[in-house]
Structure 1
């Protein structure tokens, strides 16, 4: 039994009132109650009405009434006037010469169009929009995560920039303090000397006065004048405060310079990115008299030749030659650790991971393995593809490992491959990091990642420094010509500092070449009395550790 609610939902009401329908007009296709039948006939008395019981109704097209001819229904459509007309309009009216179409056929055509539109909406357009909606939802979620990561990175960069600025002023303080100590020591020494001479002269005056008072001839006769040596003052000690200059244009540039140390903070707008970019750069200028780099340590090793080294922290370094050992020594030359490897002729390259673990590439017959030293034990971390030998190594700031690989069978082709170690221990090759191949040859490629993400490569085979960007495209090359040295450029060890400067050894000319991050030559560093500088590393304090290939001696250079 139906409830009152369900019964109310099943009742069909009259099209003109709220009463239940009982009749149906087949001519007009409307539902009628008993009351509205009479009203419907009266209002449209000009046309005939086929009124039948509701259950006997016929569903058919209800043609509209003609507005010009009472009692006539429109059966055609005037194409020119775009309106429905009756037969009388077509025969005698203004539509006589116009093109027409049957309303029933037009209706059927429009129905097909509507059905096609429904199908297209349901089958194609709405699903397409739904997919786009899902994509936008994913994009929103991804954007939220990436902007959150961006904000975290921004905070990290803020901290790092403050650290770099602190380093700059610590450097300024260090140079200032060093100059102050040197000058104060010289002035104090001169002060002591002058006061000593004054004391000597006062004693001499007192002695002369006593001599004048004596009656002893021998005393006066033995007098010898010493005034001549006191007539000229000792050489004056000159002192000079370091030349501290600065430039302040808020919103544009901040700069400071002391001696040959120059740092600049530049604020500029890159038009192609439509965003503001600030960057910190360091420039090294011509040396100012009295300010020179310092050799803070000279260390003898047992490696002759000395092939490679990598700093650990501030005052220690791993070094190796062409035997099967790798030794860790401190700045005083004391051995801290020694690793014996399976490399009969020494490793091809060494590096340090972010966890301060030693990496080395095996230099055996095939040499396809890169090993990591954990708790004194060597374990294979990476195996290069068949036919490619692992040579030089470089660990990046992101934790990736750059490996110089050389083909062993058909040619001596050299290339650099980036290996990424995932958190789950999986090793992934990043094919886009360094795309280019390097000149064929036997020499190992030395590498260093710059603070802007560039990979700086010392290609001894080509006697060139090659720098590629994050996308693997070559930014510039340096062949040593701007340095104007007597012999040809012979690069090997290469490092970068916290300001983006590139430092590379030149064994032929016994010097270091220093470039800025864009490849512009700044200066050469020589006069540190080290033959054949070959191996190179830089510690956390920015001191350079330079190793001689022939003698195995390491010199540690500060304030360079």
Structure 2
């Protein structure tokens, strides 16, 4: 076997093609044997050949040639001009006073940055895309099942309808037969009476004929005709047939049921970057839950407020905070229906709205005192004090921030402000498409706020008769202005608002005495009635149970509406 062409042969010198490689020119990137080193260095004397051991190849920095000084190498770097420079460039007027760095140092920093970015690509970004791809594939599989279930539900509903229609047809036909038989029996009885009368008339007539033919005058005088009896004709029986009024076939789709439109949109907040430590909330998607056909009331609890009940906030699955026309905020056990704790506001004013933070602390707004306060270990701390503004609704976000909706003293402006502790981080007030068009009504009427699971900010605006939803950046996503027909056909005046694990948005419709459920894109899904009376405040526990504060009744209803 020719050693020069064997795959198992050692590397050979690039010049003589025979001797084993021992040296390397880092300048020309040529492999050399020791005997050929001299020949290589004199082959091009314009270059400074860096000859190193083959094992140390590419260890010598290969500095770039200078564009302005052809025989020089650029070993330095001008930070202001962002270019490599040689020693002659440094002494020129062009770079006078500029910060000059070692090109090697700049390259090392660049290499370190590249290594970090490569590590981020390999360890964070690529695995995140893998997780996203897996999640999308899982969602596609899940979607197949959900649509099969939907088709099965429609088929089952159709079969139920067929059975009910068959039952109804049999019932109507039985009623037709029964009415027919009743009328036929009546007519038959009437006919029998007429036939009997006709027979009597015939007998009477035969008797008269016999008497008239006799020559016995005495018998003739004894005959009496009952003509008057038969002149009174029987009453005429008038029948009316039942009429079948069919429903309009065109309306059957509404009666049978309708499909809400599907939605397909992009949400830049939908994915989060994979990290080494994942919080329980972000670590897994919530299980998909379907709406119950009929929501059900689990329990009802009387709160004992003297006048009105406004708000409810969940501390846990068993404990709820409430507030009303009273300076006291009360913690109840919903299962035991007992009062556990009562906290009086710091100012003695009525709390406008209440919320519970991720750490389990109670937050409330004091409209008259212009403050937002937090209750820790039964001690009240003032977190935010406003100037020229008054707070309304408040909620605690998944990140631990507070969202406060407030109105100006002149009743001409409304805005949402995000706080981290006492620090203002974000203001949401105007539609991004028109800087002068406000997102919310200016009047100081009822406004409540919550954050959806997809980080949308949802505000119920009484005066605007709308749920106003913006994304995390404050950009308007949609407005929901109610659904027709409403249960009591009254205007849509909304109060409390909350969201669940499915990113549904729920809002209380006081006048129609119901709760609206819409999806995260503003599509109406259904009403919750459950014999509600003046629903006001709403909240959802970790199991997606809905709690409704009833204004006049001063009761809290716990309602199950998801499977």
TM-score (norm 2): 0.52
Output aligned runs, 1:2-401, within 5 Å: 119=92, 134=109, 137=112, 141=116, 250=141, 253-255=144-146, 257=149, 284=290, 287=293, 292-303=294-305, 304-331=307-334, 332-364=336-368, 367-384=369-386, 386-401=387-402
1:451 Cα deviation (Å)?
0.9
* Aligned partner (choices 452, 455, 460) of residue 454 of structure 2: 452
Give deviations 1:530-550, integer Å, cap 9, x for gaps: 211111111111110111112
> 1:279-300: per-residue Cα shift (whole Å, max 9, x none)?
878575683xxxx322111111
Distance in 1 (CA, whole Å) between partners of 2:70 and 2:323 is 87
Match for residue 418 of structure 1?
A: 418
Query: 2:309 is paired with a residue of what secondary structure?
Result: coil
- Cα separation, 1, equivalents of 2:288 and 2:485: 19
* 1:507 matched residue in structure 2: 510
Partner residue in 2 for 1:17: none
Which residue of the partner structure matches residue 479 of structure 1?
A: 481
Q: CA deviation at 1:411?
A: 3.0
Q: What is the CA distance between 1:390 and its match in structure 2?
A: 2.1
* Alpha-carbon offset, residue 376 of structure 1: 1.1
Distance 1:387 1:157, change over 3 A: farther
Residue 389 of structure 1: how far off its partner (Å): 1.4
Q: Distance in 2 between matches of 1:276 and 1:395?
A: 20
Structure 2 spans left out of the alignment, 5+ residues:
1-67, 72-84, 154-261, 274-283, 432-438
CA offset digits 1:349-380 (Å, max 9, x no partner)? 1111111011111233xx22211111111111
For the Cα contact (< 8 Å) 2:411–2:442, is it kept in 1?
Answer: yes
Contact 2:546 2:561 in 1 (8 A): no
Residue pairs, 1:474-553, within 5 angstroms: 474-482=476-484, 484-485=486-487, 486-526=489-529, 528-553=530-555
CA distance in 1, matches of 2:531, 2:268: 48
1:335/1:283 CA distance change after superposition, 3 Å: closer
C-alpha deviations, 1:453-495, integer Å up to 9, x for none? Answer: 1111111121100111011101000000355451111111111
Aligned to 1:222: none
On the 8 A contact 1:342/1:362 being kept in 2, the answer is no
Shift of residue 336, structure 1, vs aligned partner: 0.6
In structure 2, the partner of 1:402 is 403
Distance apart, 1:316 and its partner CA: 1.2
Q: 1:483 touches 1:513 (CA, 8 Å); kept in 2?
A: no
State the alpha-carbon separation in 2 of the partners of residues 337 and 156 from structure 1: 45
Partner of 1:216: none
**TM-score, normalised by the number of residues in structure 1:** 0.53
How far residue 522 of structure 1 moved from its aligned partner, in angstroms, is 0.6
The superposition leaves residues 111-138 of structure 1 with CA deviations (integer Å, 9 ceiling, x where unpaired) of 9x99569745897797698779757856
Q: Is the Cα contact below 8 Å between 2:286 and 2:501 reproduced in 1?
A: no
Larger displacement relative to structure 2 (134-143 or 507-516): 134-143
CA-atom RMSD, angstroms? Answer: 4.6
Taking a change above 3 Å as real, the CA distance of residues 280 and 269 of structure 1, as seen in their structure-2 partners, is farther
> 2:461·2:494 contact (CA, 8 Å) conserved in 1?
yes
Q: Answer yes or no: is the 8 Å Cα contact 2:352–2:365 preserved in 1.
A: yes
**Distance change in 2, residues 1:506/1:284 (3 Å):** farther
Number of equivalences? 346
Specify whether residues 301 and 451 from structure 1 end up closer, same or farther in structure 2 by C-alpha distance, changes over 3 A only: same
- Residues 433 and 470 in structure 1, CA contact (< 8 A), matched pair in contact too: no
**SS state at 1:399 partner:** coil
Contact 2:392 2:448 in 1 (8 A): no
